[in-house]
Amino acid sequence: SAVISQKPSRDICQRGTSLTIQCQVDSQVTMMFWYRQQPGQSLTLIATANQGSEATYESGFVIDKFPISRPNLTFSTLTVSNMSPEDSSIYLCSAYGGSGANVLTFGAGSRLTVL
């Protein structure tokens, strides 16, 4: 099954700054997904990242705030721009490739705290 690595695993950031989260998959995948999770709560899909095209954002998420790059079939980045305390959350990268073609595998997550 696919193995997904994310970094940083956690960070403390200042209000108004931006942070880029990196996601590396150990195999080629067509689609990658970025989710956000408040600790102990549900996952909310931010966007779908396809290689060679712009990311598709879910309602409530915009490219200016969460720009995504997908330069190749094994890598993606999510930037959280102009951060505020409301952006404090766990950001999860995922891709299909675990336990069968239809199963999403997740990275361990990046826990961001914005002061």
Partner 1 sequence: AQSVAQPEDQVNVAEGNPLTVKCTYSVSGNPYLFWYVQYPNRGLQFLLKYITGDNLVKGSYGFEAEFNKSQTSFHLKKPSALVSDSALYFCAVRDERGSSASKIIFGSGTRLSIRP
Residues that bind partner 1 (CB under 8 A): 31, 33, 35, 40-45, 48, 92, 98-100, 102-109
CA distances 31 to 9, 53, 88, Å, are 22, 11, 25
- Which one, 83 or 107, has the nearer CB to partner 1? 107
Is the CB of residue 23 less than 8 Å from the CB of residue 31? no
How near is the Cβ of 25 to partner 1 at its closest, in Å? Answer: 14
- Which one, 8 or 16, has the nearer CB to partner 1? 8
Q: How far apart are CA 38 and CA 25, in angstroms?
A: 23
How near is the Cβ of 15 to partner 1 at its closest, in Å? Answer: 26
Cα end-to-end distance, the chain, whole Å = 37
How near is the Cβ of 45 to partner 1 at its closest, in Å? Answer: 6
